Amino acid sequence: MFGCFKEKQINSKVQNVSEEEELEEKIFFVNVEIPTILSPMGDRADAEDLIDDFLQENNLGEVDGGGTHLPSEGFDGSSEITIVLKELNINHYKRLAKFIKENIQLPKGSKLRAERENYYSDEELKGFDDIELS
């Protein structure tokens, strides 16, 4: 994507590693979890656009996508907006939550949640608690 490559020495072997691959080593994903189904082409798309504009204007990251979890037995369904923040920064996380609370009307029970499964330890994510958005 960036078109720049550099050499990296690992165990006496030279490998080409793109900057994009290096950036992907530690990405900070957060999710807006919405406990109801929002239309992918309507309300959810509008929310994604507003959030992405805010992130881009403030150089904080970008919306990475979204999804709808369809109803199943005992489950009403939900929606989600996935966001990539450029850095693990509690102030950026809280700033994003504040923007969403003030600018997007979401149903009760919606929250901002830091993804805890991929890149960062529980110690690194200390303080990144779920934030209610409604």
**pLDDT tens-digit map of 69-127:** 887 776 788 999 999 999 999 999 999 999 999 999 999 999 999 998 768 888 999 99
Contact 32, 100 (CB under 8 A): yes
List, in sequence order, every beta strand (DSSP E) within 5-130. 5-10, 13-18, 28-34, 61-69, 78-85, 111-114
Percent of the chain surpassing pLDDT 70: 78
DSSP tag of 88: -
| pLDDT grade for 64, boundaries at 50, 70 and 90 | very high
Integer Cα distance of 110 and 78 in angstroms: 10
pTM to 2 decimal places: 0.76
Instruction: Dump pLDDT digits (tens) for 79-94.
Output: 999 999 999 999 999 9
d(CA 87, CA 107): 28
Q: List domains and CATH numbers for the chain.
A: 27-132 (3.30.70.260)
